[in-house]
Amino acid sequence: MNGFELRREKKKKDILQAALQLFSMHGIKNVSIAEIAEKANVSQVSIYNFFESKENLARQAFFKMMDDIMSHLDELVESDLSFREKVTQMRSVSIESGNHFNDIFNQIDFIKDPQILKFLDEYGKNRSIPLFMKLIEQGKREGSLDKNISSESVLIYINAISKALQSNLSKKVRGDLGDLFFYGLFGSSD
C-alpha cells in the first residue's frame, strides 16, 4: 500500500474503533455521527464517504467485532493449551463478548438484517465450524469428549446454544447457558 492508502485505512480503522467505543458506552441509538467523528478525529463527511450511513457503520462495527473475537479464538485453539484449558478460556471470552455484543447491538434488530444473516451464515461455514471441528477433535484425542459422539452431533449442540445466545438474554441467563454448554460437556465445573 502507498502512503495515501495507508492513511485511508488508518482513518477507517479509527472510525470503527471510535464507533465501537461510543456504541458500547451509550448504545447505537444514543450516539451521533458528529460524536463519532470527534472521537475519531475525522470529519463527518469522511464517515459518510466510508460507511454511507450510521446503520452501515454499525453493521461494519459488528463485522469488525466478530472478526476480532474470532481471531482471538483462532489463536486460542492453535495454542498448546489442553482441550479443557481452551474450553475454560473460550467460556470466558464467549460470555464477555456476548454481554458486550448484547449491550451494543441488541438495540437494532440485527438478526433480521439480510446482510447480517448472510455474514453469519458464511461466518459459521468458513470460520466457526472449522474452528470448533478442530477443537472437538482435540477433545476426543485427549479423552475429554466421548469418542462415540459424532462431531456432527457436537456441532448441532453448539449451534443450538449459539442460537439461544442470539436472543435478548440477561447476563445471568447468558452466563448460565455458558456454564451449561461448557461444563455440561464435562459433567461439572471442577
Which of these, 175, 181, 16, 179, lies nearest to 99 by C-alpha position? 175
- Residues 38, 124 within the same domain: no
Number of compact structural domains in the chain: 2
Domain end call among 52, 69, 92: 52
CA 142 to CA 146: how far, in whole Å?
Answer: 10
Between the two ends of the chain, the Cα-to-Cα distance in Å is 50
- Residues 83, 170 within the same domain: yes
Domain end call among 34, 52, 70: 52
- Residues 131, 72 within the same domain: yes
Q: Could you list the residue range(s) of the whole structural domain that residue 40 is in?
A: 1-52
- Residues 74, 139 within the same domain: yes
- Residues 20, 111 within the same domain: no
- Residues 91, 177 within the same domain: yes
pTM of the complete model: 0.77
For residue 16, give the CATH number of its domain: 1.10.10.60
- Residues 35, 7 within the same domain: yes
pLDDT at 35: 97
pLDDT at 91: 76
- Residues 14, 59 within the same domain: no
pLDDT at 117: 81
- Per-residue model confidence as pLDDT tens for the chain (190 residues): 788 889 999 999 999 999 999 988 888 888 999 999 999 999 999 999 999 999 899 999 988 988 988 999 999 999 999 998 998 888 788 767 766 666 566 655 666 778 888 888 888 889 989 999 999 999 999 998 889 999 999 888 888 877 776 666 777 887 787 777 767 655 555 5
Which of these, 121, 123, 181, 119, lies nearest to 154 by C-alpha position? 181
Does residue 111 lie within any of the structural domains? yes
- Residues 15, 106 within the same domain: no
